[in-house]
Protein backbone atom coordinates (compact mmCIF):
# COMPACT_ATOMS: atom_id res chain seq x y z
CA UNK A 1 0.00 0.00 0.00
CA UNK A 2 1.36 3.40 -0.96
CA UNK A 3 1.34 6.28 1.44
CA UNK A 4 -0.10 9.57 0.23
CA UNK A 5 2.92 11.29 1.87
CA UNK A 6 5.17 9.69 -0.83
CA UNK A 7 3.26 11.65 -3.46
CA UNK A 8 4.87 14.92 -4.58
CA UNK A 9 3.37 18.13 -3.19
CA UNK A 10 2.30 19.17 -6.71
CA UNK A 11 0.48 15.88 -7.28
CA UNK A 12 -1.17 16.12 -3.84
CA UNK A 13 -2.47 19.54 -4.76
CA UNK A 14 -3.97 18.17 -8.00
CA UNK A 15 -5.69 15.37 -6.10
CA UNK A 16 -6.93 17.53 -3.21
CA UNK A 17 -8.23 20.19 -5.59
CA UNK A 18 -10.42 17.57 -7.25
CA UNK A 19 -11.77 16.43 -3.86
CA UNK A 20 -12.58 20.02 -2.90
CA UNK A 21 -14.23 20.69 -6.28
CA UNK A 22 -16.46 17.62 -6.04
CA UNK A 23 -17.43 18.43 -2.43
CA UNK A 24 -18.24 22.02 -3.48
CA UNK A 25 -20.50 20.65 -6.26
CA UNK A 26 -23.02 19.82 -3.51
CA UNK A 27 -23.08 23.36 -2.11
CA UNK A 28 -26.47 24.19 -3.63
CA UNK A 29 -28.12 21.07 -2.24
CA UNK A 30 -31.14 22.19 -0.22
CA UNK A 31 -31.34 19.03 1.89
CA UNK A 32 -28.68 19.51 4.61
CA UNK A 33 -28.51 15.80 5.44
CA UNK A 34 -28.06 14.81 1.78
CA UNK A 35 -25.39 17.48 1.43
CA UNK A 36 -23.56 16.14 4.51
CA UNK A 37 -23.75 12.51 3.34
CA UNK A 38 -22.62 13.26 -0.23
CA UNK A 39 -19.73 15.45 0.95
CA UNK A 40 -18.53 12.83 3.41
CA UNK A 41 -18.94 10.02 0.87
CA UNK A 42 -16.84 11.99 -1.60
CA UNK A 43 -14.08 12.69 0.93
CA UNK A 44 -13.90 9.06 2.11
CA UNK A 45 -14.11 7.58 -1.41
CA UNK A 46 -11.32 9.81 -2.67
CA UNK A 47 -9.26 9.10 0.46
CA UNK A 48 -9.58 5.37 -0.27
CA UNK A 49 -8.64 5.77 -3.94
CA UNK A 50 -5.62 7.89 -2.98
CA UNK A 51 -4.65 5.62 -0.08
CA UNK A 52 -4.38 2.45 -2.21
CA UNK A 53 -3.25 4.42 -5.31
CA UNK A 54 -6.02 2.66 -7.27
CA UNK A 55 -4.97 1.54 -10.77
CA UNK A 56 -7.26 1.96 -13.77
CA UNK A 57 -7.49 -1.84 -14.14
CA UNK A 58 -8.59 -2.12 -10.50
CA UNK A 59 -11.20 0.61 -11.07
CA UNK A 60 -12.51 -1.36 -14.10
CA UNK A 61 -12.61 -4.56 -12.02
CA UNK A 62 -14.62 -2.75 -9.33
CA UNK A 63 -17.12 -1.51 -11.93
CA UNK A 64 -17.40 -5.06 -13.37
CA UNK A 65 -17.98 -6.39 -9.83
CA UNK A 66 -20.79 -3.89 -9.14
CA UNK A 67 -22.30 -4.58 -12.56
CA UNK A 68 -22.35 -8.34 -11.82
CA UNK A 69 -23.93 -7.62 -8.41
CA UNK A 70 -26.64 -5.64 -10.19
CA UNK A 71 -27.26 -8.37 -12.76
CA UNK A 72 -27.74 -11.12 -10.18
CA UNK A 73 -30.02 -8.98 -7.97
CA UNK A 74 -33.80 -9.39 -8.17
CA UNK A 75 -36.76 -9.34 -5.75
CA UNK A 76 -35.50 -12.47 -3.97
CA UNK A 77 -31.71 -12.29 -4.43
CA UNK A 78 -30.14 -9.11 -3.02
CA UNK A 79 -26.42 -9.15 -3.76
CA UNK A 80 -25.83 -5.61 -2.47
CA UNK A 81 -27.12 -6.60 0.99
CA UNK A 82 -24.73 -9.56 0.93
CA UNK A 83 -21.91 -7.17 0.01
CA UNK A 84 -22.84 -4.80 2.82
CA UNK A 85 -23.12 -7.73 5.25
CA UNK A 86 -19.79 -9.31 4.35
CA UNK A 87 -17.99 -5.96 4.62
CA UNK A 88 -19.46 -5.41 8.10
CA UNK A 89 -21.32 -2.32 6.86
CA UNK A 90 -24.73 -3.75 7.84
CA UNK A 91 -23.50 -4.61 11.33
CA UNK A 92 -21.91 -1.17 11.79
CA UNK A 93 -25.17 0.55 10.77
CA UNK A 94 -27.02 -1.63 13.29
CA UNK A 95 -24.48 -0.78 16.01
CA UNK A 96 -24.99 2.94 15.41
CA UNK A 97 -28.79 2.77 15.36
CA UNK A 98 -29.31 0.32 18.25
CA UNK A 99 -27.00 1.67 20.90
CA UNK A 100 -26.77 -0.03 24.26
CA UNK A 101 -29.61 1.03 26.57
CA UNK A 102 -29.86 -0.37 30.12
CA UNK A 103 -30.23 -4.16 29.80
CA UNK A 104 -31.98 -4.09 26.41
CA UNK A 105 -31.25 -7.14 24.25
CA UNK A 106 -28.64 -6.47 21.58
CA UNK A 107 -29.52 -6.31 17.90
CA UNK A 108 -27.81 -8.03 15.00
CA UNK A 109 -28.13 -8.34 11.21
CA UNK A 110 -31.54 -8.67 9.57
CA UNK A 111 -30.40 -10.78 6.60
CA UNK A 112 -32.27 -11.21 3.33
CA UNK A 113 -34.64 -14.05 4.27
CA UNK A 114 -37.37 -12.33 6.32
CA UNK A 115 -40.84 -12.39 4.74
CA UNK A 116 -43.83 -10.32 5.87
CA UNK A 117 -46.53 -12.96 5.65
CA UNK A 118 -45.28 -15.68 8.01
CA UNK A 119 -47.93 -18.06 9.41
CA UNK A 120 -49.33 -17.42 12.90
CA UNK A 121 -48.79 -20.05 15.59
CA UNK A 122 -50.38 -20.37 19.02
CA UNK A 123 -48.19 -20.45 22.17
CA UNK A 124 -46.34 -23.79 22.10
CA UNK A 125 -46.94 -24.19 18.34
CA UNK A 126 -44.43 -25.54 15.83
CA UNK A 127 -42.85 -23.01 13.47
CA UNK A 128 -41.01 -25.75 11.50
CA UNK A 129 -44.07 -26.67 9.40
CA UNK A 130 -42.29 -29.84 8.28
CA UNK A 131 -38.86 -28.30 7.55
CA UNK A 132 -36.15 -30.89 8.26
CA UNK A 133 -34.08 -30.59 11.44
CA UNK A 134 -33.80 -31.46 15.11
CA UNK A 135 -36.76 -30.05 17.10
CA UNK A 136 -35.88 -27.28 19.56
CA UNK A 137 -38.14 -26.04 22.39
CA UNK A 138 -37.71 -22.27 22.70
CA UNK A 139 -39.08 -20.31 25.67
CA UNK A 140 -38.63 -16.92 27.28
CA UNK A 141 -40.17 -13.64 28.24
CA UNK A 142 -40.39 -10.19 26.71
CA UNK A 143 -40.03 -7.34 29.18
CA UNK A 144 -39.29 -3.61 29.14
CA UNK A 145 -36.07 -2.21 30.54
CA UNK A 146 -38.14 -1.36 33.66
CA UNK A 147 -38.72 -5.10 34.10
CA UNK A 148 -42.42 -4.92 33.17
CA UNK A 149 -43.77 -7.91 31.20
CA UNK A 150 -44.79 -6.87 27.67
CA UNK A 151 -48.13 -8.51 26.90
CA UNK A 152 -49.05 -9.09 23.25
CA UNK A 153 -45.55 -8.40 21.91
CA UNK A 154 -45.26 -9.75 18.36
CA UNK A 155 -42.43 -12.24 17.95
CA UNK A 156 -41.45 -13.18 14.40
CA UNK A 157 -39.03 -16.09 14.07
CA UNK A 158 -37.30 -17.57 11.03
CA UNK A 159 -34.39 -19.89 10.38
CA UNK A 160 -32.69 -22.18 7.87
CA UNK A 161 -33.46 -25.91 7.96
CA UNK A 162 -30.84 -28.60 8.62
CA UNK A 163 -29.85 -28.54 4.92
CA UNK A 164 -28.91 -24.88 5.37
CA UNK A 165 -31.79 -23.59 3.26
CA UNK A 166 -34.58 -21.12 3.97
CA UNK A 167 -38.06 -22.03 2.67
CA UNK A 168 -37.91 -19.21 0.08
CA UNK A 169 -34.67 -20.64 -1.34
CA UNK A 170 -36.48 -23.91 -2.08
CA UNK A 171 -39.64 -22.24 -3.43
CA UNK A 172 -40.47 -18.51 -3.29
CA UNK A 173 -44.03 -19.25 -2.15
CA UNK A 174 -43.17 -21.83 0.52
CA UNK A 175 -43.56 -20.98 4.23
CA UNK A 176 -41.68 -23.26 6.66
CA UNK A 177 -39.28 -22.70 9.56
CA UNK A 178 -40.87 -19.28 10.05
CA UNK A 179 -43.86 -18.05 12.03
CA UNK A 180 -45.14 -15.31 14.29
CA UNK A 181 -46.72 -15.48 17.73
CA UNK A 182 -47.61 -13.11 20.57
CA UNK A 183 -46.54 -13.03 24.20
CA UNK A 184 -49.12 -14.18 26.78
CA UNK A 185 -50.57 -12.31 29.77
CA UNK A 186 -47.29 -12.74 31.68
CA UNK A 187 -45.12 -11.62 28.76
CA UNK A 188 -44.06 -15.23 28.16
CA UNK A 189 -43.65 -17.15 24.91
CA UNK A 190 -42.89 -20.72 23.89
CA UNK A 191 -42.68 -22.54 20.57
CA UNK A 192 -41.08 -25.46 18.79
CA UNK A 193 -38.41 -24.57 16.23
CA UNK A 194 -35.31 -26.31 14.87
CA UNK A 195 -31.87 -26.52 16.47
CA UNK A 196 -29.90 -24.06 14.28
CA UNK A 197 -27.07 -25.34 12.06
CA UNK A 198 -24.41 -23.38 10.10
CA UNK A 199 -25.16 -22.53 6.46
CA UNK A 200 -23.44 -20.58 3.68
CA UNK A 201 -24.79 -17.24 2.52
CA UNK A 202 -25.62 -17.41 -1.22
CA UNK A 203 -22.09 -17.58 -2.69
CA UNK A 204 -22.68 -18.28 -6.39
CA UNK A 205 -22.40 -14.58 -7.30
CA UNK A 206 -19.77 -11.82 -7.15
CA UNK A 207 -19.81 -11.66 -3.33
CA UNK A 208 -19.03 -15.40 -3.18
CA UNK A 209 -16.16 -14.81 -5.63
CA UNK A 210 -14.87 -11.97 -3.46
CA UNK A 211 -14.96 -14.19 -0.33
CA UNK A 212 -13.08 -16.98 -2.18
CA UNK A 213 -10.50 -14.49 -3.51
CA UNK A 214 -9.68 -13.25 -0.01
CA UNK A 215 -9.73 -16.74 1.56
CA UNK A 216 -12.92 -16.24 3.59
CA UNK A 217 -15.62 -18.81 4.25
CA UNK A 218 -19.23 -18.01 3.22
CA UNK A 219 -20.55 -19.75 6.37
CA UNK A 220 -22.76 -18.03 8.89
CA UNK A 221 -22.68 -19.08 12.53
CA UNK A 222 -25.75 -21.19 13.39
CA UNK A 223 -28.61 -18.94 14.46
CA UNK A 224 -32.33 -18.45 14.97
CA UNK A 225 -33.72 -15.06 13.86
CA UNK A 226 -36.11 -12.95 15.97
CA UNK A 227 -37.91 -9.69 15.28
CA UNK A 228 -39.84 -8.41 18.30
CA UNK A 229 -42.24 -5.47 18.23
CA UNK A 230 -44.37 -3.82 20.90
CA UNK A 231 -45.98 -0.38 21.01
CA UNK A 232 -43.74 2.19 22.69
CA UNK A 233 -40.66 0.00 22.29
CA UNK A 234 -37.69 0.01 19.92
CA UNK A 235 -38.15 -2.83 17.43
CA UNK A 236 -35.57 -5.51 18.06
CA UNK A 237 -34.06 -7.49 15.18
CA UNK A 238 -31.70 -10.12 16.49
CA UNK A 239 -30.64 -13.78 16.54
CA UNK A 240 -29.59 -16.29 19.14
CA UNK A 241 -26.47 -18.40 18.52
CA UNK A 242 -25.80 -21.82 20.08
CA UNK A 243 -22.87 -21.94 22.50
CA UNK A 244 -19.98 -24.03 21.09
CA UNK A 245 -20.97 -23.50 17.46
CA UNK A 246 -18.18 -24.56 15.03
CA UNK A 247 -18.37 -21.25 13.09
CA UNK A 248 -19.18 -18.90 15.98
CA UNK A 249 -17.03 -15.77 15.87
CA UNK A 250 -15.93 -16.56 12.29
CA UNK A 251 -19.49 -15.67 11.17
CA UNK A 252 -19.04 -14.22 7.68
CA UNK A 253 -21.38 -11.26 8.37
CA UNK A 254 -19.90 -10.38 11.80
CA UNK A 255 -23.29 -10.80 13.52
CA UNK A 256 -22.24 -12.68 16.67
CA UNK A 257 -22.41 -10.87 20.02
CA UNK A 258 -21.47 -12.48 23.34
CA UNK A 259 -24.84 -11.67 24.92
CA UNK A 260 -26.67 -13.51 22.11
CA UNK A 261 -24.82 -16.82 22.57
CA UNK A 262 -27.19 -19.21 24.37
CA UNK A 263 -26.96 -22.74 25.70
CA UNK A 264 -29.02 -25.08 23.55
CA UNK A 265 -29.36 -28.14 25.84
CA UNK A 266 -29.44 -31.33 23.74
CA UNK A 267 -31.82 -33.96 25.10
CA UNK A 268 -31.34 -37.68 24.51
CA UNK A 269 -33.89 -39.56 22.41
CA UNK A 270 -36.81 -40.58 24.58
CA UNK A 271 -36.47 -37.66 27.04
CA UNK A 272 -40.03 -36.43 27.79
CA UNK A 273 -40.73 -33.04 26.22
CA UNK A 274 -42.15 -30.05 28.21
CA UNK A 275 -45.51 -30.19 26.42
CA UNK A 276 -45.84 -33.94 25.95
CA UNK A 277 -44.96 -33.86 22.24
CA UNK A 278 -43.56 -37.19 21.09
CA UNK A 279 -40.24 -36.56 19.35
CA UNK A 280 -38.62 -39.28 17.30
CA UNK A 281 -34.93 -38.81 18.26
CA UNK A 282 -32.96 -36.10 20.03
CA UNK A 283 -34.30 -32.61 20.65
CA UNK A 284 -32.91 -29.46 22.25
CA UNK A 285 -34.09 -26.71 24.54
CA UNK A 286 -33.11 -23.04 24.86
CA UNK A 287 -34.27 -20.06 26.91
CA UNK A 288 -34.10 -16.52 25.55
CA UNK A 289 -35.39 -13.66 27.70
CA UNK A 290 -35.83 -10.55 25.61
CA UNK A 291 -35.67 -6.97 26.90
CA UNK A 292 -36.95 -4.15 24.67
CA UNK A 293 -35.65 -0.59 24.93
CA UNK A 294 -38.18 2.25 24.81
CA UNK A 295 -38.70 3.71 21.34
CA UNK A 296 -36.71 6.79 20.48
CA UNK A 297 -33.53 5.91 22.41
Contacting ligand BEZ within 184-223 (CB under 6 A): 201, 220
Given candidates 39, 107, 111, 228, which one binds ligand BEZ under the rule CB under 6 A?
A: 111
Residue nearer to ligand BEZ on the CB measure, 178 or 190? 178
Nearest approach, Cβ of residue 202 and ligand BEZ (Å): 7
Q: Which stretch binds ligand BEZ (CB under 6 A): 108-116, 137-145, 181-189, 204-212?
A: 108-116
Q: Which is nearer to ligand BEZ, 159 or 285 (CB)?
A: 159
> CB under 6 A: which stretch of 9-17, 67-75, 110-118, 259-267 binds ligand BEZ?
110-118
**In the bound complex, which residue of the shown chain has the CB atom lying closest to Fe ion?**
111
- Across 248-269, b (16+ Cβ under 10 Å) vs e yields eeebbbbbbbeebbbebeebee
In the list 111, 135, 205, 208, the residue contacting Fe ion (rule: CB under 5 A) is 111
Contact stretch for ligand BEZ (CB under 6 A) within 3-11, 106-114, 120-128, 271-279? 106-114
Smallest distance, Fe ion to C-beta of residue 26, A: 38
Residue 96, CB half-sphere, CA atoms under 13 Å: how many? 6
Radius of gyration for the alpha carbons in the chain, expressed in angstroms and rounded: 23
Q: Which residues are near ligand BEZ by CB under 6 A?
A: 82, 85, 109, 111-113, 201, 220, 253
Q: Which residues are near Fe ion by CB under 5 A?
A: 111
Amino acid sequence: MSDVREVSPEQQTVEQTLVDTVVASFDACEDPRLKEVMGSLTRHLHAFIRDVRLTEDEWSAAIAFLTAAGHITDDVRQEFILLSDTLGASMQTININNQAYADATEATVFGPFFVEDSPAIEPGGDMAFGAPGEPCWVTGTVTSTDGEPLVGAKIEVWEADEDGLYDVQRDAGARAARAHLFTDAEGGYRFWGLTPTPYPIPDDGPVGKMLAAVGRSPLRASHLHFMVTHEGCRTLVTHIFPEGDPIGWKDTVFGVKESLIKKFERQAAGTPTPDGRVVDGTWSEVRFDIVLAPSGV
